[in-house]
């Protein structure tokens, strides 16, 4: 729907662009053409699908890791009020750094508008350089990779360093309350509250340990 609205609101300008390209004998589907208003296309010099895959996978994984860290209730550095700014800055950094060499970052952003491009400019909107599958699909496995990477290697890393895995009987919400209320103290020791469990010591105590 957003793509159709764009086509409607800027129809006069898009028609002028199309007329100019037709006079020069240029196609409608390429990076810089009217179809690229709606979705990503590689540059004419970018012929390596492996390279385009790698760039897309890296960008989507980076954004996914930052999002997961912002959602982690045990992360003492990102609060619920700052999470949107952290995620937005990560997304902006990837756009600033990699948009010029072709990225999509989002199936939801690309697929619908690529369908709109196909409606007006034909099937080449999907077949151009055989790139569309990268733009549409790569963010899905990249997000799974980012999730696994954060959950297995990065999640709650300060707690793990402090006392070798710590859990709370109330789950992540309880752990978040501990970190928020007490913070990280010198020597990596964490002050406990009722219900806090140390897997290292194998005990559950209602006071400091």
CA distance 110 to 92: 17
Strand partners, 203: 198
- Statement to judge: residues 115 and 30 lie in one domain: yes
29 and 100 co-located in one domain: yes
Per-residue pLDDT at 77: 84
* HSE toward the beta carbon, residue 53, CA cutoff 13 A: 8
- When divided into structural domains, the chain yields a total of 2
Share of the chain above pLDDT 70, in %: 77
Kindly report, residue by residue over 104-145, the tens digit of the pLDDT: 998 988 999 999 999 999 999 999 999 999 999 999 999 999
Reading the block at residue 26, the tokens are: 């240029």
Which DSSP symbol is given to 168? E
For residue 149, the enclosing domain spans: 2-154
CATH number for the domain spanning 107: value is 1.20.1080.10
pLDDT of residue 166: 55
Cα gap 137→123, rounded to integer Å: 18
| Of 133, 154, 175, the domain-final residue | 154
Q: In 10 A of CB 15, how many CB atoms?
A: 11
pLDDT at 195: 45
Measure the CA–CA gap between 60 and 39, rounded to whole angstroms.
16
Q: Pick the last residue of a domain from 130, 154, 178.
A: 154
**Buried residues in 110-126 as b, exposed as e (16+ CB within 10 A):** bbbbbebbbebbeebbb
pLDDT attached to residue 155: 77
Q: What SS3 class is residue 207?
A: coil
Q: What is the pLDDT of residues 179-207, one digit of tens each?
A: 666 554 434 444 444 444 444 334 444 44
SS3 call for 190: coil
Q: What is the pLDDT of residue 80?
A: 86
* Cα–Cα dist 36/28, whole Å: 9
């Amino acid at each position: 729907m957003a793509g159709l609205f764009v086509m409607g609101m800027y129809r006069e300008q898009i028609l002028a662009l199309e007329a100019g390209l037709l006079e020069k004998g240029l196609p409608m589907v390429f990076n810089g053409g009217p179809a690229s208003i709606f979705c990503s296309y590689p540059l004419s010099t970018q012929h390596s699908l492996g390279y385009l895959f790698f760039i897309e996978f890296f960008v989507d994984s980076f954004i996914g890791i930052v999002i997961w860290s912002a959602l982690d209730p045990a992360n003492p550095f990102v609060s619920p009020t700052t999470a949107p700014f952290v995620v937005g800055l990560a997304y902006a950094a990837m756009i600033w750094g990699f948009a010029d060499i072709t990225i999509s970052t989002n199936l939801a952003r690309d697929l619908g508008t690529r369908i709109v491009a196909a409606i007006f400019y034909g099937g080449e909107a999907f077949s151009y350089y055989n790139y569309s599958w990268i733009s549409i699909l790569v963010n899905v496995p990249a997000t799974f990779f980012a999730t696994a990477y954060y959950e297995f290697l990065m999640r709650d890393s300060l707690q793990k360093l402090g006392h070798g895995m710590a859990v709370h009987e109330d789950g992540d919400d309880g752990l978040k309350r501990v970190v928020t209320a007490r913070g990280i103290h010198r020597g990596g020791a964490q002050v406990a509250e009722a219900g806090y469990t140390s897997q290292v010591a194998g005990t559950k105590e209602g006071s400091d340990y």
